[in-house]
Structure 1
């Protein structure tokens, strides 16, 4: 029996054609000499890493990128054979596994590179690395020419392939600024320092891909925008093509009741009916990623906005209805219904955060259902 027949009706529908469309449009923008690296870290930004990766590769992405060793291995175990780049730090012992599974890993310090180089003669296959340069993000990577060359030489001496070099921009989603210019200039200087240019030089995240085409180099890393979400309000207003949202979060009314004036709703009795009202219960709560701070957020029922009332519970929440409705009525929490739309940006504004955090917070206990362009989200 399908889970949808007996489980709760809360699901996240992922439109894989939207993923493919966003990748294809980005590839057209960057041109044939610049590849697209599909970033599928954090379980594909909450969309499901393996299925998103497959769709991105079908649309022409040249390789995949993740943040942790576990994420890289999970993709290999899912049967994906494309190049995988591990963007984050990895323990020295993981280098052996990376070589065995042909996973490209990030070299972020001379000491790390020298420790890996010492172990490399015992690897069953050659290891590939990308050198990380910290041009101003202050996260991972080397900051001096001396450390960069030390990493490079340690790798080459151990017959480790220096397959790439990259950096990450801290302010690419903001108006042109001094930090951006400093980082772009510093990265170009770092690339020129290497005795031999690697196969892949890359720096641009989604925002830089759209805002700074002069820094596209050999590849761009398409992250949040592959999922149809703009990196910032500034970028959204200047996009070279419309992004197609890939996720719709929906559920159904599971219980409906009539309240009288003065009746209260949920923990703390923070909501009190002002008169006769209809209130419905939704089977989704903060354990699913609908956080308590989203009390007061609108959902869509019958093509109309209906407000969450009272405190959001761990597994459920309540909404004020415009009139009596029957259990089973479809509800959209993220996505489009009728002429109305609720976006991750709207959730983010209420929570005082960014839409990245909204989608990656969606719990894995919400089933992901994969569609092929069946709706506009």
Structure 2
């Protein structure tokens, strides 16, 4: 999707906030714990390459992405630090994984058998670094039992692989009730203690674990908190300050006074109850500003202005308190005067989490780094 640089809608990323969040976490982990910055999903909507370069400058030890393509994007941007792909990959992609020196997860012995067979037919350039995934209660990917883990360990002695890491993912690290988190923690460490050797990286600590529990293992996967977002949304207060990095702004492109009884937007879902000033803003659901945000608000001159009528593909309309000049700044996420709109505010309104809201913003909206 082409970036729309000739309209005033833009996302601004405060690079100082990213740096501050990284420095905060660096002070909370020990020197023997590697810090991997998670930049999957285009850096949670913030821009993967740009955030990775900031994180690299701040001294992180590696990166986590979700797909092979995301890893390749970082490599082609000049990133040489270790990159761990968190999503499962097909055996047919292993030559590419090897070529770009990516690390990948493994979750079944069947996959390992197929990979060994493929390597015997057509060896890739260098061993593929693998991180063994353990399913301790997430139900997503990973080995369930110590017996399965030992079968996997035996296969990892093949020349096709480098046994680089082992990990799990906590399901409830961001919740007040710690009982399930403790169950997963105990199961993970009980399983890895049965191995003949430990790999280079043992990692279970994500943002939520670091904030509300303890930095376990020798590698930290620092994701949403790096962007200044609370991993629990608004369920728990973070144990230390997080500085949000993303703001979203635009401008009023048309302002007009509609008489009482005028319809606004598709479906005639809003009708003026008096003579009302209506402003049009160039952003819509194709930009990731979803239709469910009808009835939400933006900030203009420090005042909350309600979104009226359905959000269109490329535009939306707001009710203004009075006539305002065309070109007036509009804040959709961020601070204006004494008021603020957060990603969490948007998420709460539409019934989701701020992770999803940030990831929804499309490539059509330019990212500006300040």
- What TM-score do the two structures reach when normalised by structure 2? 0.96
Mapped to 2, the partners of 1:5 and 1:37 lie a distance apart of 32
Give the match for residue 219 of structure 1: 219
Instruction: Tell me how far 1:155 sits from its aligned partner.
Output: 1.2
Map residues 136-215 of structure 1 onto 2, 5 A cutoff.
136-158=137-159, 160-213=161-214, 215=215
The runs of 5 or more residues in structure 1 that have no matched partner are: 372-377
In the alignment, is the contact (CA less than 8 A) between 2:127 and 2:161 conserved in 1? yes
In the alignment, is the contact (CA less than 8 A) between 2:306 and 2:318 conserved in 1? yes
Give the match for residue 318 of structure 1: 317
The runs of 5 or more residues in structure 2 that have no matched partner are: none
CA shift digits 1:127-151 (9 cap, x unpaired) = 2111100000000111011111111
Distance 1:231 1:296, change over 3 A: same
Give the alignment's Cα RMSD to 1 decimal. Answer: 1.7
CA shift digits 1:5-25 (9 cap, x unpaired) = 971111111112211211111
CA shift digits 1:167-188 (9 cap, x unpaired) = 0000110013332111100110
In the alignment, is the contact (CA less than 8 A) between 1:41 and 1:49 conserved in 2? yes
Distance 1:292 1:159, change over 3 A: closer
Mapped to 2, the partners of 1:85 and 1:165 lie a distance apart of 12
Mapped to 1, the partners of 2:167 and 2:138 lie a distance apart of 12
Give the match for residue 128 of structure 1: 129
Distance 1:5 1:77, change over 3 A: closer
Map residues 155-304 of structure 1 onto 2, 5 A cutoff.
155-158=156-159, 160-213=161-214, 215-233=215-233, 236-237=236-237, 239-304=238-303
Mapped to 1, the partners of 2:283 and 2:136 lie a distance apart of 42
Distance 1:68 1:268, change over 3 A: same
Instruction: Tell me how far 1:119 sits from its aligned partner.
Output: 3.3
In the alignment, is the contact (CA less than 8 A) between 2:13 and 2:367 conserved in 1? yes
SS in 1 for 2:37: strand
Mapped to 1, the partners of 2:213 and 2:36 lie a distance apart of 17
After the TM superposition, which parts of structure 1 deviate over 6 Å for at least 4 consecutive aligned residues?
A: 3-6
SS in 1 for 2:283: coil
Instruction: Tell me how far 1:236 sits from its aligned partner.
Output: 4.5
Mapped to 2, the partners of 1:5 and 1:69 lie a distance apart of 27
Instruction: Tell me how far 1:95 sits from its aligned partner.
Output: 1.6
Distance 1:5 1:154, change over 3 A: closer
Instruction: Tell me how far 1:205 sits from its aligned partner.
Output: 1.4
Instruction: Tell me how far 1:32 sits from its aligned partner.
Output: 1.8
SS in 1 for 2:340: strand
Give the match for residue 375 of structure 1: none
Map residues 48-67 of structure 1 onto 2, 5 A cutoff.
48-67=47-66
In the alignment, is the contact (CA less than 8 A) between 1:96 and 1:120 conserved in 2? no
CA shift digits 1:220-248 (9 cap, x unpaired) = 111111111101146641x2321111111
Distance 1:80 1:5, change over 3 A: closer
Distance 1:13 1:236, change over 3 A: farther
Instruction: Tell me how far 1:159 sits from its aligned partner.
Output: 5.5
CA shift digits 1:1-50 (9 cap, x unpaired) = xx999711111111122112111111111222222211111111011110
Mapped to 2, the partners of 1:257 and 1:286 lie a distance apart of 23
SS in 1 for 2:55: helix
SS in 2 for 1:327: coil
Mapped to 2, the partners of 1:87 and 1:271 lie a distance apart of 45
Give the match for residue 343 of structure 2: 344
